Chain A
């Protein structure tokens, strides 16, 4: 086949997917950038170019900074715990413990639930007085606590839910990686008299490094992308204490219809995701060769 013909066929095959990809990923990303440099069109005032005014307004917006701080805390609070748990789960499931099929099932099941269902289930635990946590607390003589209504606790409640849902998902990636490790490594190590802990630290963990990086990148994306529980359960409240960046964008754009400011905030989100992409490309691609 000539190259010209291959190019024609190749692009023809690619065309339908590429058009949609352009329409719903690339074009909106560029349009967001454009919108962030313009004012929100209102009924009697069309949109005009405003330069960096939206970004200046953002820098002066205390809610923006709080939301960024929340999201950072949320990421720090959920990612290390869920990744560590995922690794532990994967090791246990991969280890020939009795009933490992049941263990795997138990760890993985929360992953197939929608976040909104997870939120509903955990709502019961957090409800003041009625909820399970308060009932247990009462048995120990403590009073009712409005876990989701208190700015000091609400974000932590969200974190617990997220860890519960995500750990089993990340476990799968570790499990996939563990199954790739040749079993004769462990045999060789045990002949050499190397303990299990040493083997884990010196052999397994380094071999899992690429997976850990991959999981970490995905976990960070998840921390910025998955806000269903915030939107459904607290709407970001009380007092924006549980707002994350994307849920704030949702509020700004679809409750206050401030399209320009929504776009400005989205640019920040895109910058974070783009930075992650570059990081993954620079670090990950060099270390693992899976193609």
Chain B
């Protein structure tokens, strides 16, 4: 009777798992090619020997250590800037009845639609006139005032009882003390969510860093990885896949280890 009303459950499970297998297949292949000698890159034998040579080759063919340091610096700088700026702005929007608040908030929301990624030319010219081209700072600066972060945190701050404020104020605490001692600790889950979303976005960001950097000293992993993806290159799959895994490795491992936290964070950020 149940089967007559639609797809039987077991068939659905088959569908779900088939899709899952299709979905991980490209990644599984990538891991396969990276850990096996080149002659097994497209020959799938269960007992093919494992090797780390491809990683060694990839590591030697590009200054990966430097790229890692750059990406790390970029992600840290963006996040640190964002956390400070976003906290202050969200607090203002959530707790101060100031003249022009609605207009200011609307202006902030504009950035949800028109991100700095889109305004490549003018932002490049701005960086050039500031003399910041080819610095980690230039890669990070346009993203520090995150409208998404302000929005997310404002929602969280607004749910907090105002009595906490009043109590703290009676004790003689100033606005910034209250923010730091009361609001920030209570908003911790939101901060974690925002931080994870932000780190994975900027670890993966490509176009703006590509434009605003032009030396090995500042280039992040994604831009460095570009060398490996030109079609005309002599194709050495094993090295390409190893380099690819290498550069998204830390994020991927972090994701696999903390996947529940990651997905919860994205969920939290998704409910707006």
Contacts and interface: CB of A to CB of B under 8 A. Distances in A.
Interface of A: 3, 6-11, 13-14, 16-21, 23-29, 31-32, 35, 85, 88-89, 92, 95, 97-98, 102-110, 112-117, 119-125, 127, 130, 132, 135, 148-149, 164, 168-169, 172-173, 175-177, 179-180, 195-198, 221, 224-225, 227-228, 231-234, 246, 249-250, 253-254, 259, 262-263, 266, 269-270, 273-274, 276-277, 280, 290-291
B126 interface: yes
Interface stretch (B46-54, B59-67, B114-122, B184-192): B114-122
Q: Which of A29, A97, A121 has the most CB of B within 10 A?
A: A121
Interface residues of B, number: 97
Contact of A31 (B117, B122, B144, B235): B122
A285 to B, nearest CB: 11
B27 A114 contact: no
B113 A276 contact: yes
B121 A176 contact: no
B225 A117 contact: yes
Given A26-B110, A225-B117, A233 B222 contact: no
Given A106-B23, A246-B118, A274-B114, A195 B5 contact: yes
Given A14-B104, A24-B119, A276-B113, A125 B26 contact: yes
B262 interface: yes
Interface in B115-172: 115-126, 141-142, 144-145, 147, 150, 155
13 contacts: A3-B99, A16-B89, A20-B85, A92-B12, A97-B16, A113-B27, A113-B248, A115-B206, A117-B247, A224-B118, A231-B210, A233-B231, A250-B207
B12 A29 contact: no
B204 interface: yes
Contacts of B110: 25-26, 277
A103 B252 CA distance: 17
A231 B207 contact: yes
Nearest to A131: B42
Given A117-B225, A176-B270, 10 more contacts: A9-B92, A10-B101, A26-B110, A31-B125, A109-B23, A113-B252, A120-B228, A225-B118, A228-B206, A266-B118
